[in-house]
Structure 1
Amino acid sequence: MHTEDTEVGAESDEFRLPRSRVANERLHSLIPGGAHTYAKGDDQYPENLAPVISHGSGAHVWDVDGNRYIEYGSGLRSVSLGHAHPRVIEAVRREIDRGGNFVRPSIVEVDAAERFLATVPTAEMVKFTKNGSDATTAAVRLARAVTGRPRVALCGDHPFFSVDDWFIGTTPMSAGIPAATTELTVAFPYGDLAATEELLTRYRDEVACLILEPAGHAEPPPGYLAGLRALADRHGCVLVFDEMITGFRWSEAGAQGLYGVVPDLSTFGKALGNGFAVSALAGRRDLMERGGLRHSGDRVFLLSTTHGAETHALAAAMAVQTTYAEEGITARLHDLGERLAAGVREAATAMGVGDHLVVKGRASNLVFATLDENLRPSQQYRTLFLRRLLAGGVLAPSFVVSSALDDVDIDHTVDVVAQACAVYRKALDAADPGPWLGGRPVKPVFRRLA
């Protein structure tokens, strides 16, 4: 087993993580699921090859066994500048020394609000909180309040919106959620305006909001977002853009800034704090003020969290926005992603698996699909692929880049991918990836049974 001073990765089929395995057992004995986020669970990794992280710096992390990895998808896409980014850490340390939470608003709160609204000028007011679920649920609550309507229409093609009942009740993990709650959530397909209008007509005057990620793994069809804006206006519902992922990675002002379509409400998080806990609900003043004190209508309990405006997290957000603006981070993310995608595709094609290992998504937000011999999505081939990446020192549940990556990291990743693709080809030729799995296959996050 190599240590921090050795080369990245381990090429042997005997790659093992004994300390991580023990740590995972400790995690499961104390924490349901062994992690505080299901997407970080060890069921998402090959059996006994789920590294437990010791620390990170830039684009690299080290596990408790001493292995160093090039990391992708850092912090579930939240760490877009790399771990322990100096500019962000400096801002955080400065505020921590001044106190972090008071009985009245800190001046940092208004500074952060002004900075955010300068970055996202399509919004007029903003309220900060700690996680994306609180922000999206606040948007739904506000939409219901201002429209007086009960139903939520979400884009069924997007994987996650909130931990709260209005969304989780629509997934296979719906245990504990009353059917009456779930029935109030309906779904529309991305890119299909006719189907969405049919839904709004079927539930005429019942739908409070349309909520969706404005873009996903493919670009919006021409005119789609503008058409959705018009549909929402015509049917009197609130248009909500979930910009948790698209915020900063598409443009500093999110997808709404890139595509020029303004939602009524939008939610930001993930990249906003570079790993620090901060998210935001932003939008039209007349809507947002319903959660305030300067209106004559019924009050909306919009967002009210003890830790929502911790000064160090807001300082992190301001530092992130400054870094993006001054250093051209969004452009760098796209450049790195384009180079990585081209290298992976070339390696896969050279090894004869170009139709089976598919890289897709915007360059700043790349994912990959693993397909079997019949070109069907396969958790078994994903397991094989992840296993070889880990052994080569690449931790990549996705290929989502951070700006801390450099050319050496990309080159090494492509080399490891090529080696993994050689094994992939062997498994395809055998029509059986089983001998290369090392145990049970990885599992989807959303499933009914553990």
Structure 2
Amino acid sequence: MDLARSRAAAERLHQLVPGGAHTYAKGDDQYPAGLAPVISHGRGAHVWDVDGNRYVEYGSGLRSVSLGHAHPRVVAAARRELERGSNFVRPGILELEAAERFLAAVRTAEMVKFAKNGSDVTTAAVRLARAATGRPLVAICRDQPFFSTDDWFIGTTAMNAGIPEETTNLTVSFPYGDLAATEELLRAHDGRVACLMLEAAGQREPPPGYLAGLRELADRHGCVLVFDEMITGFRWSEAGAQGLYGVVPDLSTFGKALGNGFAVSALAGRRELMEQGGSRDARDRVFLLSTTHGAETHALAAAMAVFDTYVEEGVTARLHELGERLAAGVREVAAGMGVGDHVLVRGRASNLVFATLDERLRPSQEYRTLFLRQLVTGGVLGPSFVVSSALTEDDIDHTIDVVGQACAVYRKALDAGDPSAWMGGRSVRPVFRRRN
């Protein structure tokens, strides 16, 4: 595979952009050495790099492009608004229409405020919870990988340089699925926890009664329950995990699939809480969200088109069908090559990831490198197996064929007891690491 132009572009990016990308998860250290394509364009479920190579793509836009690239309905909606002006000195009528459309879908919420990034709205939720409760501590689910780029979360990761310890100490954590441990945490910090923040579901389904139990704990201990719906929004249901499982949080945050690649996120929740960030509440005002570009008309129009497409075309069901076909195929070829215990597919069908385990069945970055190398050279760009509705059955079948070839190499490496001969260089690296 010729990636000369991609490698040259990547080197120029590193000279101009810290990390060589605007999102750490898109960095070339996440891909095998010399196999990090720089993208020229995309359409549907395919992308082309600057060298002219075409790939079937998974996890598009960090899971945001769930309808496929350049979706005609979404692009048309955004284009119409671009020709009418994108940002005004007063609210545009589209802000009202988008809020009505959002709240008609997410019926568990009473008010909504739009922004651009997921971190905007998760941090706003934290601030609002602290203001409403008068409490300093934020409790996050420790088993979930990411909530915000802001200090209150990043300070808890290995990349905590530049964040005061005093800030980090204001964030505590609880394990997913363990109500007893969460209650113990709330008792240990009695009257000091402002909110419980978590993804209602992730790589495994919530245990029976778990979410309802969290709701009861939050009520009993007087803290705010926040569901991060960045990933579960749309992929679980049009109303997210709360719409599927029937447990109502006080606040919830949406993004990613909301705009199919356009920059739009949302904080939604109970009127009693949300109004404290407004101008008609008698309590002390909360500087909730005040973003210059939070209500750009083309992004809100794109979001409304996404809502309509999901409902009218049954996109959530389509994502599950595609994911189930892919997962079954990968498991079959992995088992056939004798690596079924080493190459694992996990998660809900609409949000699949894969794990690569070594000879002792431990997670391995080295074997991930080997596996990714075979995927990329086979024309599959897949840091995960998160599907978009633009994938065809042929795309899935091609992916399964490439995975089969990768599993054959994987078997050779396991037999040798060392994957280095098939890695092509250094291993891929975790995003959250203390040193480069």
Please indicate the TM-score interval, normalised by the length of the shorter structure. Answer: over 0.9
Does the CA-based 8 Å contact 1:250-1:364 persist in structure 2?
yes
Alignment partner, residue 66 of structure 2: 80
- 2:293 is matched with which residue: 297, 307, 312? 307
Aligned 8 A contact 2:339 2:410 in 1: yes
Q: Any conservation in 2 of the 1:16–1:49 contact (CA below 8 Å)? A: no
Contact 2:159–2:433 under 8 Å retained in 1 = yes
2:163 counterpart (162, 165, 177): 177
The amino acid that maps onto 2:249 is P
How far the C-alpha of 1:16 sits from its partner, in A, is: 3.7
Offset at residue 43 of structure 1 (A): 0.2
SS of residue paired to 1:368? strand
Partner of 1:148: 134
Q: Which residue of the other structure, out of 61, 72, 85, is the alignment partner of 1:99? A: 85
Instruction: Map residues 81-230 of structure 1 onto 2, 5 A cutoff.
Output: 81-230=67-216
Partner of 2:361: 375
Alignment match of 2:396 (pick from 401, 410, 419): 410
Deviations 1:334-386 (A, max 9, x none): 00000000000001000110000000000000000000011000000000000
- Aligned counterparts of 2:367 and 2:232: Cα–Cα separation in 1: 28
Equivalents in 2 of 1:407, 1:178: separation in Å? 50
Give the counterpart of 1:432 among 407, 412, 418: 418
1:3 paired residue number = none
Note if 1:289 corresponds to 2:306.
no
Matched letter for residue 213 of structure 2: G
1-side partners of 2:276 and 2:93: how far apart?
Answer: 23
CA deviation vs aligned residue, 1:221-268 (integer Å, no higher than 9, x gap):
000000000000000000000000000000000000000000000000
Is 1:17 the counterpart of 2:14? The answer is no
Equivalent in the alignment of 2:226: 240
Task: Tell me the SS of whatever aligns to 2:367.
Answer: helix
Which residue identity is paired with 2:299? A
Q: Determine the C-alpha separation between the residues in 1 that align with 2:392 and 2:304.
A: 25
1:397 aligns with 2:378: no
What are the residue-to-residue correspondences of 1:254-333 with 2, within 5 Å? 254-333=240-319
Q: Counterpart of 1:231?
A: 217
Q: Which amino acid aligns with 2:67?
A: L
Q: Is the 8 Å Cα contact of residues 2 and 51 (structure 2) preserved in structure 1?
A: no
Name the % identity: 81
SS of match in other structure, 2:402: helix
Number of residue equivalences:
436
Alpha-carbon RMSD across the aligned residues, in angstroms, is: 0.4
**SS of residue in 1 equivalent to 2:350:** helix
| C-alpha distance in structure 2 between counterparts of 1:27 and 1:119, whole Å | 40
Checking the alignment, whether the CA contact within 8 Å between 1:57 and 1:84 is kept in structure 2 is yes
Confirm whether residue 33 of structure 1 aligns to residue 23 of structure 2: no
Q: Check conservation: 1:365, 1:399, Cα contact below 8 A.
A: yes
Helix, strand or coil at the partner of 1:364: coil
Q: Hey, what does 1:345 align to over in structure 2?
A: 331
2:408 equivalent among 413, 418, 422 = 422
After superposition, the C-alpha distances for 1:151-176 in whole angstroms (9 at most, x for unaligned) are: 00000000000000000000000000
Which residue of structure 1 lines up, in the alignment, with residue 30 of structure 2? Answer: 44
CA contact (8 A) 1:355 1:375 kept: yes
Match of 2:374 among 378, 388, 411: 388
Structure-2 separation of matches of 1:297 and 1:389: 56
Which aligned runs of 4 or more in structure 1 are off by greater than 3 angstroms? none
Q: SS of the residue aligned with 2:197?
A: strand
* Unpaired runs of at least 5, structure 2: none
1:251 alignment partner in structure 2: 237
Structure 2 length as normaliser, TM-score? 1.00
Q: Structure 1 length as normaliser, TM-score?
A: 0.97
| Partner Cα separation in structure 2 for residue 402 and residue 81 of structure 1 | 5
How far is 1:294 from its partner?
1.1
Deviations 1:87-119 (A, max 9, x none): 000000000000000000000000000000001
